[in-house]
Chains A and B, each alone.
Chain A
Amino acid sequence: MGSSERATFNNKVVSWIDERLPVFTLMQKEYGVFPTPRNFNYFWNFGAIAMFMLIAMIATGIFLAMNYTAHVDMAFDSVERIDRDVNWGWLLRDIHMNGASFFFIAVYIHIFRGLYYGSYKKPREILWILGVVIFLLMMATAFMGYVLPWGQMSYWGATVITNLFSAIPLVGDGIVKWLWGGFAVDNPTLNRFFALHYLLPFVIFAVVFLHVWALHVSGSNNPTGIEPKGKQDTLPFHPYYTMKDTFGLLVYLVIFCAFVFYAPDYLGHPDNYREANALVTPAHIVPEWYFLPFYAMLRAITFDVGIPGTDIVFISAKLGGVIAMFGSIALLFVLPWLDTHPIRSARYRPQFRLFLMIFLAAFVVLGYVGSQPADAALAGVPLQVIGLLGTAYYYAFFLVVLPWLNKTEKGKDVPKSIYDAVMAAEGKKK
């Protein structure tokens, strides 16, 4: 980093510092003049929005931690105290709990944008993988954060999710006890979840740094999926995208504030305003909304896999569900090698686009299935069946559809350059 050429600054103090530690040169290079494709649409705002949400979560979280007590006898009341007696504590908590949802909304859109425009393809594989790592870390952080208020859903959600590990053959039960620090979800569990919930966001921050670093090596993808070929294809990041990102972020924050100030509990579950009680199981345990599609995949597998007609079982239904759920994320890691089609953007791949839209629909339907009791039905069709079909499509999309399209899809003509694409679009408008 230090060996590269330095920029010149008129301000003497800036110049003095930059000669010794070239942070200003770095900022100038990476965020000032950084060449960025000129044709981003508003889907490219969500990286910056996610970054803002991460910082907002860390900032509010630190102040919440100052007033929170990680003990099973006091956690629930300490959260109520934050709401009632800490100055502006209700605002900190409303921002933090809705911030988690809005961080996930931003990241889901960001991931989908990557899928739609083929941002995971060569040479951005590591950039993509780091993104999936961030997503996984976010899930772990959010899960542990939801346990901290020690309400009924906190406790029973923690019980259900940690119990998943007991499906692992031989070592499963040991792992679960090790996670709990005892024989049930209890005080040691709450304490370690609090410690990890405070730690992981900083790990996320570090991986975000790597993610951005990798981004600045390959440069951004863009809606055409074609690499910039020269100056006519790019714009300096500042002021073009700093200003556009700020505008997009502000619009996003308006929606966020509508929830924080007017419906702070809409995205939560009423049962979490009941203190955790190991003797009373909620009628219907559901995770936070952003886990629902994965929760549906977990519950979709209700049959053992073994030799038919015998008692021999290789994979129990429970283990099958766990594999289905974690496998769905594992597939994201290898996506760059499943979809090797030379055209990146779905704009020029009508078949890919169709299957991707069905994939999105399947994901949303899985979310709905996850929110419902396991034995519910929709228009006479058991949700069990719908959940299994959704899971099957999720897997088929990666393992069957993408490899098949690699071989068969011709795609449309791709413009020669970003500049040509932009000019063609401008011409159409006029």
Chain B
Amino acid sequence: MTMKRFALSLAAAAVLAPAAAAIAKEAHDVPPPHMHWHFSGMFGTYDKAALQRGYKVYREVCASCHSMKQMSFRNLEGLGYDESQIKAIAAEYTVEDGPNDEGDMFERPGRPSDRFPAPFANAKAAAFANNGAAPPDLSLIVKARHHGPDYVYGILTGYEEPPADAHLQPGQNWNKYMPGHVIAMAKPLSDGQVAYEDESPATVDQYARDVVQFLTWAGDPYMETRKRTGAKAIMFLLVFAGIMYAVKRKIWASVH
């Protein structure tokens, strides 16, 4: 075997091994539907209208149980809101601040620099209010799950009647895509629940798509910058590598 053939087989093994590992990893669970997302691929970007709709779904539905502690109102700039809009959104919330000069905590309207307020005071309170299972923080939910956006979409749309042989405790629900199928969260979305300001259909499917895009953005707000920078960096490296290849060939020409 020549080194070249060997190098090829090594490259093939390097490509196949993680793929095989990924396939086997999720073999026991129902794989979530494979969706096409606006942000997928090398040139994918965020659809700002979808992000704004998704934020509305989060605010009106998810936020009653799920915190997003990594997010501040100022980050909403990434959704295409301008400064005055962000100020207005933040001001809709009441935030505890302090202590003031007299040593007392006080409440004031939210500011763009404030974090999204959490629905519960702490994890214990969250668990107590939710049958013992604290709802996870959603700032990184898409990055923190295998199949990221597809999985979150699957959970939001995967509620089904439990099969006859399943024994669910009170407060438990059946979800096709949840590992083990038993999930504490009740079906969160239903048709017509959130009133959209644009023409988008007010359906569970559309809500799920929009909120997944919003959550993906929340976990990876610099994705567009990252891809743009990457294109420039790789372009530069390819040109530089081409030049160096020419230089190398010229220098080595006298030796060969």
What residue of chain B has the Cβ atom nearest to residue A360's Cβ?
Answer: B10
CB of A368 within 8 A of CB of B21, answer: yes
* Cβ of B105 under 8 Å from chain A: no
Report the Cα distance A71→B179, complex, angstroms.
Answer: 32
* Cβ of B131 under 8 Å from chain A: no
> Which of B70, B240, B248 is close to A77, meaning CB atoms less than 8 Å apart?
B70
Contacts of B241 in A (CB 8 A): 247, 250-251, 254
CB of A368 within 8 A of CB of B139, answer: no
Report the Cα distance A371→B17, complex, angstroms.
Answer: 10
CB of B146 within 8 A of CB of A270, answer: yes
Q: Is the interface of B mostly helix, strand, loop or mixed?
A: helix
> Which of B231, B248, B256 is close to A426, meaning CB atoms less than 8 Å apart?
B256
* Cβ of B3 under 8 Å from chain A: yes
* Cβ of A171 under 8 Å from chain B: no
Report the Cα distance A72→B209, complex, angstroms.
Answer: 35
**Per-position 1/0 for A238-250, Cβ under 8 A of B:** 0110011011001
Give the shortest distance, in Å, between A397 (CB) and chain B (any CB): 17
Contacts of B75 in A (CB 8 A): 84
CB of B244 within 8 A of CB of A270, answer: no
* Cβ of B95 under 8 Å from chain A: no
CB of B145 within 8 A of CB of A80, answer: no
Contacts of B256 in A (CB 8 A): 426
CB of A261 within 8 A of CB of B248, answer: no
Contacts of A360 in B (CB 8 A): 10
Contacts of B139 in A (CB 8 A): 80
CB of A270 within 8 A of CB of B226, answer: no
* Cβ of A332 under 8 Å from chain B: no
CB of B143 within 8 A of CB of A265, answer: yes
> Which of B42, B233, B244 is close to A243, meaning CB atoms less than 8 Å apart?
B244
**Per-position 1/0 for A263-305, Cβ under 8 A of B:** 0110000110110000000011000010000000000000000
Give the shortest distance, in Å, between A261 (CB) and chain B (any CB): 2
* Cβ of B164 under 8 Å from chain A: no
> Which of A247, A253, A273 is close to B140, meaning CB atoms less than 8 Å apart?
A273
CB of A262 within 8 A of CB of B24, answer: no
> Which of A84, A116, A246, A254 is close to B234, meaning CB atoms less than 8 Å apart?
A254
* Cβ of A402 under 8 Å from chain B: no
**Per-position 1/0 for A18-36, Cβ under 8 A of B:** 0000000000000000000
What residue of chain A has the Cβ atom nearest to residue B151's Cβ?
Answer: A270
CB of A243 within 8 A of CB of B248, answer: yes
Q: Which of B18, B221, B237 has the most CB atoms of chain A within a 10 A radius of its CB?
A: B237
Report the Cα distance A378→B10, complex, angstroms.
Answer: 21
Interface hits, A337-377 → B, CB 8 Å: 353, 357, 360, 364, 367-368, 371-372, 376
* Cβ of B6 under 8 Å from chain A: yes
Knowing A244-B248, A247-B248, A270-B143, say if A368 contacts B17 (CB, 8 Å).
yes
Contacts of A357 in B (CB 8 A): 1, 6
What residue of chain A has the Cβ atom nearest to residue B240's Cβ?
Answer: A250
Knowing A38-B255, A80-B139, say if A247 contacts B230 (CB, 8 Å).
no
Knowing A254-B241, A257-B234, A372-B21, say if A235 contacts B255 (CB, 8 Å).
yes
Contacts of A80 in B (CB 8 A): 70, 139-140
* Cβ of A176 under 8 Å from chain B: no
Give the shortest distance, in Å, between A59 (CB) and chain B (any CB): 16
* Cβ of B222 under 8 Å from chain A: yes
CB of A371 within 8 A of CB of B143, answer: no
Contacts of B222 in A (CB 8 A): 83-84, 90
**Per-position 1/0 for B212-256, Cβ under 8 A of A:** 000000010110001101110110011011001101100110011
CB of B143 within 8 A of CB of A261, answer: no
Size category of the binding interface on chain B: 35 or more
CB of A270 within 8 A of CB of B148, answer: yes
* Cβ of A167 under 8 Å from chain B: no
CB of B226 within 8 A of CB of A264, answer: yes
Size category of the binding interface on chain A: 35 or more
* Cβ of B35 under 8 Å from chain A: no
* Cβ of B8 under 8 Å from chain A: no
Give the shortest distance, in Å, between A299 (CB) and chain B (any CB): 15
What residue of chain B has the Cβ atom nearest to residue A41's Cβ?
Answer: B3
Contacts of A116 in B (CB 8 A): 3
CB of A254 within 8 A of CB of B230, answer: no
Give the shortest distance, in Å, between A42 (CB) and chain B (any CB): 8
What residue of chain A has the Cβ atom nearest to residue B74's Cβ?
Answer: A85
Report the Cα distance A368→B25, complex, angstroms.
Answer: 11
Knowing A80-B70, A240-B251, A270-B148, say if A376 contacts B24 (CB, 8 Å).
yes
What residue of chain A has the Cβ atom nearest to residue B239's Cβ?
Answer: A250
* Cβ of A94 under 8 Å from chain B: yes
Give the shortest distance, in Å, between B143 (CB) and chain A (any CB): 4
Interface hits, A364-403 → B, CB 8 Å: 364, 367-368, 371-372, 376, 378
Give the shortest distance, in Å, between B149 (CB) and chain A (any CB): 12
What residue of chain B has the Cβ atom nearest to residue A113's Cβ?
Answer: B3
Give the shortest distance, in Å, between A286 (CB) and chain B (any CB): 9
> Which of A84, A239, A253, A258 is close to B251, meaning CB atoms less than 8 Å apart?
A239
Contacts of A257 in B (CB 8 A): 230, 233-234, 237
Interface hits, B136-158 → A, CB 8 Å: 136, 139-140, 143-146, 148
Knowing A235-B255, A250-B244, A253-B237, say if A371 contacts B230 (CB, 8 Å).
no
Q: Which residues of B come within 8 Å of A, CB atoms? A: 1, 3, 6, 10, 13, 17-18, 20-21, 24-25, 42, 69-70, 75, 136, 139-140, 143-146, 148, 179, 219, 221-222, 226-227, 229-231, 233-234, 237-238, 240-241, 244-245, 247-248, 251-252, 255-256
Q: A273-B144, A372-B24 are in contact. List 16 more A-B contacts (CB 8 A).
A: A84-B70, A116-B3, A243-B248, A244-B252, A247-B245, A247-B247, A250-B244, A253-B237, A257-B233, A257-B237, A261-B231, A264-B226, A273-B219, A283-B179, A289-B18, A357-B6
Q: 4 shortest A-B CB distances, which residue pairs?
A: A261-B230, A273-B144, A250-B241, A247-B244
